[in-house]
Amino acid sequence: MNAGVRGLIFDIQGHSVHDGPGCRTLVFLSGCPLHCAWCANPEGQLPRSRVMYREQKCVPTCRRCVSACPHHAVDRDSTGLRLDRARCDWCDTLDCASACLHEALRVAGRAYTVDELLRVLRRDQDFWGRGGGVTFSGGEPLAQPEFLLAALQECRASYMHTAVETCAHVETALLLQVLRWTDWLFVDLKHMDSAAHRAGTGAGNELILRNIEAVAAAGWLGRFIVRVPIVPGFNDAAENLQAMAGFVARLGLREVNLLPFHRLGASKYEQLGLNYPYAHTEPPSQEVLLAAGRIFAAAGLRCYTGAEAPF
Ligand code: SF4
Ligand code: SF4
């Protein structure tokens, strides 16, 4: 019934084993209400398609994108190629990427109908084996509620296991509605102090905390996993980790998944012409992660880190 609803997806990755049980396909939806300074998927933060430029692939003698751009936003001289990002941000054609024959320009963010997405997932379903499925991530998947709900309903009708990863800065009623249609839910908890949360993500944490409480109290029978990104200098102080552990334990939840900060998304910032505030931040050491794990374990929580997650 909803098969024609369209959603903007900036990536689909098969064969993942980190975001739910078994072998999974990850679907990344564009648009997010937060703007975390360490975000590994900056191309998915805004609710629109964006052009990404990889200089290494660009052919020095080529000018195809210069000619193709209807907004005169590309300039090429002896020092290289430059995009006027202010114009690109409002571009409705992305003709430059269509003109590029060398994959130096590519578009992140393509509209799919639910039917088109399900065709991809049914193809992947043969590779999942027992226990695999699909995980909706982003960006923030609940930022496209009509598409997400329609896709989840179609997945259930096709007997696919589903998981949703959310930042939880979303309407509570919508989050509770999504619970009806997903098997697992991952919710990020980033900081217990609202001012610090706002400084790192652009928004306070009140709605997120309320939503975690609402899910915990919903009597939902799916698996609910709180995820804590460990971001050096932002949220890794013992005091904050203890406050997080106490909050999660008081709600009667049992598990926490720590996600160490990494810089795997750094090249995407370059490709988008953006500054990456965490470009020189080192990932947390093993000692820091072990100490964090001990804090959550002391609160009676089962705590596991990154890819060690026992899904
Ligand atoms: S994104 Fe649009 S404005 Fe920017 S270079 Fe490409 S065609 Fe031109
Ligand atoms: S069309 Fe592609 S290869 Fe040619 S100049 Fe533009 S980005 Fe470089």
Query: What pLDDT is stored for residue 218 in this prediction?
Result: 97
What is the distance of C-alpha 245 from the center of its chain? 23
Which pLDDT tens digits describe the chain residue by residue (311 residues)? Answer: 577 899 999 999 999 988 999 999 999 999 999 999 999 999 999 999 999 999 999 999 999 999 999 999 999 998 999 999 999 988 999 999 999 999 999 999 999 999 999 999 999 998 998 889 999 999 999 999 999 999 999 999 999 999 999 999 999 999 999 999 999 999 999 999 999 999 999 999 999 999 999 999 999 999 999 999 999 999 999 999 999 999 999 999 999 999 999 999 999 999 999 999 999 999 999 999 999 999 999 999 999 998 777 77
| Cα–Cα distance for residue pair 98/95, rounded to 1 Å | 5
**Closest Cα to atom 6 of ligand 2:** 65
Starting from the edge strand earliest in sequence, which strands make up the sheet with 24-29, in order? Answer: 110-113, 6-16, 24-29, 133-138, 161-166, 184-188, 223-230, 255-260, 302-305
Query: What pLDDT is stored for residue 311 in this prediction?
Result: 78
Which residues have a Cβ under 8 Å from the Cβ of 140 and sit 6 or more positions away? 29, 31, 32, 33, 34, 166, 167, 169, 170
Our answer on whether the CB atom of 62 is closer than 6 Å to any ligand 2 atom is yes
Query: What pLDDT is stored for residue 32 in this prediction?
Result: 98
Query: What pLDDT is stored for residue 14 in this prediction?
Result: 94
| Cα–Cα distance for residue pair 151/120, rounded to 1 Å | 12
Amino acid 36 reads C
Our answer on whether the CB atom of 58 is closer than 6 Å to any ligand 2 atom is yes
Give, for ligand 2, the residue of 53, 54, 64 to mutate: max count of ligand atoms closer than 8 Å to Cβ. 64
**Closest Cα to atom 4 of ligand 2:** 62
- Cα 73 to ligand 2 centre (Å): 13
Give how far Cα 226 sits from Cα of 95, 133, 251, Å: 41, 20, 11
Q: Give 210-270 as a DSSP string.
A: HHHHHHHTTT--SEEEEEEEE-TTTT-SHHHHHHHHHHHHHTT--EEEEEE---TTHHHHH
* Domain layout of the chain by residue ranges: 6-46+110-308, 50-107
Ligand nearest to the CA of 271: 2
Domain 50-107 bears CATH identifier 3.30.565.10 = no
- Cα 292 to ligand 2 centre (Å): 46
Do residues 138 and 80 touch, judged by C-beta distance below 8 A? Answer: no
What number of CA atoms fall less than 13 Å from residue 107's CA on the CB side? 19
Do residues 165 and 19 touch, judged by C-beta distance below 8 A? Answer: yes
Ligand nearest to the CA of 87: 1
Our answer on whether the CB atom of 83 is closer than 6 Å to any ligand 2 atom is no
Give, for ligand 2, the residue of 66, 76, 102 to mutate: max count of ligand atoms closer than 8 Å to Cβ. 102
**Closest Cα to atom 8 of ligand 1:** 69
Domains 6-46+110-308 and 50-107 belong to one CATH topology: no
Residues in the chain: 311
Query: What pLDDT is stored for residue 143 in this prediction?
Result: 98
Q: pTM higher than 0.85, yes or no?
A: yes
Please give the CATH topology (third level) of the domain spanning 6-46+110-308: TIM Barrel (3.20.20)
Q: Give 119-150 as a DSSP string.
A: HHHHHHHHHH-TT-EEEEEES-GGGSHHHHHH
| Cα–Cα distance for residue pair 95/115, rounded to 1 Å | 26
Query: What pLDDT is stored for residue 1 in this prediction?
Result: 55
Q: Which of 20, 34, 47 is nearest to 201 (CA)?
A: 34
Give, for ligand 2, the residue of 58, 66, 72, 103 to mutate: max count of ligand atoms closer than 8 Å to Cβ. 58
**With left for phi above 0 and alpha for psi between -120 and 50, is residue 197 left, alpha or beta?**
alpha
Do residues 308 and 260 touch, judged by C-beta distance below 8 A? Answer: no
What letter would DSSP give residue 112?
Answer: E
| Cα–Cα distance for residue pair 191/301, rounded to 1 Å | 18
Give how far Cα 223 sits from Cα of 44, 63, 182, 196, 253, Å: 26, 52, 9, 29, 10
In angstroms and rounded to an integer, the radius of gyration of the C-alpha atoms of the chain is 21
Give, for ligand 1, the residue of 93, 98, 100, 107 to mutate: max count of ligand atoms closer than 8 Å to Cβ. 93
Our answer on whether the CB atom of 81 is closer than 6 Å to any ligand 2 atom is yes
